[in-house]
Amino acid sequence: MSAKWLLFFRSFLFLTHLAAFSTPIHKAPALNGTNVDRLALLAIKSMIKGDPQGILTSWNHSSTDFCQWQGVTCSPRHQRVTDLNLSSGGLIGTLSPSVGNLSFLRVIQLFNNSFSSEIPPEIGRLFRLRQLRLAYNSFTGNIPATIMNCSNLQVLNLGNNNLVGKIPDAIGSLSMLSILALPSNILQGGIPPEIGRLFSLQELYLFNNCWKSGLTS
């Protein structure tokens, strides 16, 4: 074999070897907002163990148009979930932390069900949230302090659960709050004076708890 052909052959082998190790790695495409919402809803369904009325029947992997699922309302423009209403459905289970991924949510209505365990602190990531209605369930644990990050919150109704501990002092930062309802829980420690900073407050329900008399500092 001539030197010319030997040089050509070695160059060919080198380029072939280089190509084998320079094949681009294809990454999985990033999830867009609508896919995030769909997966979050399916995660919420996965933690609900009882659905006697079949409310979540339409929530399935084969149906991609989650805006048509029962209890789900989307914004016409972005097709993102803005309202989750599963009230009075007899649902049994826990609320998935994935609810915090529904970043366009403005209303959560889950009252009059049998949700138990703690309220996921991930709700505090929902900066657009205006109404949080979780009354008449069996939620336990403390009121998550992260809820006070929801600065647009107008209605906070956690009444008739099994919540313990204190009302977070940061409650006074919810300047748009018009309804605060925490009755019939096991809350203790007194009523924080920060509630007096809620100048938009129109309705306040705190009865049937384990309060000390008067406001506390």
Domains and CATH numbers, the chain: 33-205 (3.80.10.10)
pLDDT category of residue 34 using cuts at 50, 70 and 90: confident
Report percent pLDDT > 70 for the chain: 83
Indicate whether this model's pTM tops 0.85.
no
- Separation between Cα atoms, residue 41 and residue 161, nearest integer Å: 23
Average pLDDT, integer, range 83-106: 98
pLDDT at 87: 98
Single-letter code of the amino acid located at 64:
T
Look at the alpha carbons of 207, 209, 215, 217 in this order and tell me if their dihedral is positive or negative: negative
List the structure tokens of 87. Answer: 């009230």
pLDDT at 3: 52
pLDDT at 21: 45
Average pLDDT, integer, range 54-80: 92
Average pLDDT, integer, range 174-194: 95
Non-local CB neighbours of 46 within 8 Å, separated by 6+ positions: 96
Non-local CB neighbours of 20 within 8 Å, separated by 6+ positions: none
- How far CA 138 is from CA of 44, 65, 110, 142, 197, in Å, comes to 17, 31, 11, 12, 29
pLDDT at 213: 57
pLDDT in tens, 3-22: 544 444 454 444 444 444 44
Q: Is the pLDDT of residue 211 over 90?
A: no
